[in-house]
Structure 1
């Protein structure tokens, strides 16, 4: 595919996404229909689409329209590329620009448009982040780095870096967590690398790793990852010496490959169904990485910020509060509920902790920390609620 043909493919995908289809489904469907597209073509089209979704409002302003053509026109103008070099009408590239398209476009307005977030979310950003709101929104406009967690049960960061280098993958330590590496080159080779296939490393954001490392874990503790999702934090917990780890998720299908991943990592994680959770307690630590807006990870899933509504945010807040109340009976005396989100919004973070303590006596907060998206990681929040 020519560069112009890749732009046209991105335009077609973006129009479907703007019409309401999920980005991943659209890209998967395009790839299946486009057997002529090689791996580099698919990667380039995907990058175009995700860059446009991250910068949807500012690119629409620069391009003069919130359409596939408008977003890609804005993307080219933002990158300093003359749009006429791509919009030529030749071959499989996009049709030539009209006079109206050539004349359209403006600089994005300060605030929500410049920061590429919906208008209704911008006040929540400012309330939660203050002077860092603009910088945080700007960070979410760029691609997320690729982080790895070195499996402490099998390797050291130095040895893992060498093993990855042998597979053509260059990494460096990341300050977000002691076992975190950032891939500098060769990320697309990871899943076929010996280091990954033998369980020396796992994909996991450094702040997500830091949430686990912040837990006060000792040998002999029983730890439940209550909202385990795919099980990334479960595996990180299982890498801690002497800790007995259990995993549960309300959607059990998310855990379908955890046994295989645990075997690869040499880890032991017991998966619990809903009926088994209460019978297997009490636990010394219950980690609840609750469903949330995902605002701290919007650069990984940028269509999430355009799909979020005020009503959905309120639904999520109710779910979060419900999970906190549901896990209380699972915690042993002196034990901890570790609440976590990948959200930047205080209504999902500090406000939930304050509300929990207000409605529940016999608990106190012993730890609270935010990991900003401006620090080179996803945005995360965690707090430890200790039972008296």
Structure 2
């Protein structure tokens, strides 16, 4: 769930209103600008959302998405009543069903389109997430020739990856606990090429003109956060194992496993400390795998696919200062490491990168706990600006 939010809710809402007759943009409690009433009163309407991208691996770009929040009349009234009674009222209720459709592109030729849906059933006893996306990614891939070259001297070559991704996840709550167990299905079909004729010929020989990856897996999630969008208390731990096999329709046989978590600790009314970490594992006996298949260090300020390996570990910490109930500023620092051996010593087979930055959030829809803001991050020679909505990290 957390990764779903990160990639599909990372956008800055545009203040465009198509139906404003009964909509107020002033919060009745604190008198500040707020879009909660608009989102509630137009739960089945279209909320235009511009997507602004500054990912170092893709370049500057943007697009637009449409966000739909689905609530019954009873759910809307209950959330509104709690929001009138408390500044954080309503934010900890069951997250409404969310549908997002959109697309965009960047200056280097990357483009994409997607649709996603999150829904809970039976008072949040069952959760479903579905995603369908299609796009073209222009990425720089780095290779150290199996450890023969030092990380900062790795060879780089451009790739063009065009493909389709489809994913579904179904989770079930265990009794009355915070634990969810579930199954996941994923399928992707892609083509990979390079403008370098030698690299392109090599890619065509090793992986062919088109490839498909199809897998099934299991997952577990334990979540005590007080809000999925921008929590200030609680934690979440997620574990997942996926098997990709030719019997499922995959051209490659491999396994992936991930373990991730986030924790939010309120130090006092003004300060919150947060920590996030993840471990990604990849295993395959197949040669000639697509270059974007292996996991990579995923930190703000670090170019996607710049640091890849069979084992990837990343950790980041963040300190947040809540100026008031609307504004929050933060500073963060993270470090990631890749290796071909989970227990490798610090040698040529490992690669380490750190990143840091600052950011801010504004509570744009108080009753939902929905925040928007900007993060500015740096790492090595890279820097990026991230326009964020609905995520803590």
**Short-chain TM bin:** under 0.3
TM-score, normalization: structure 2? 0.26
Which has a greater percent of strand? 2
Which has a greater percent of helix? 1
Tell me which structure has the larger Cα radius of gyration: 1
Q: Which has the bigger relative contact order, CA under 8 A and spacing at least 6?
A: 2
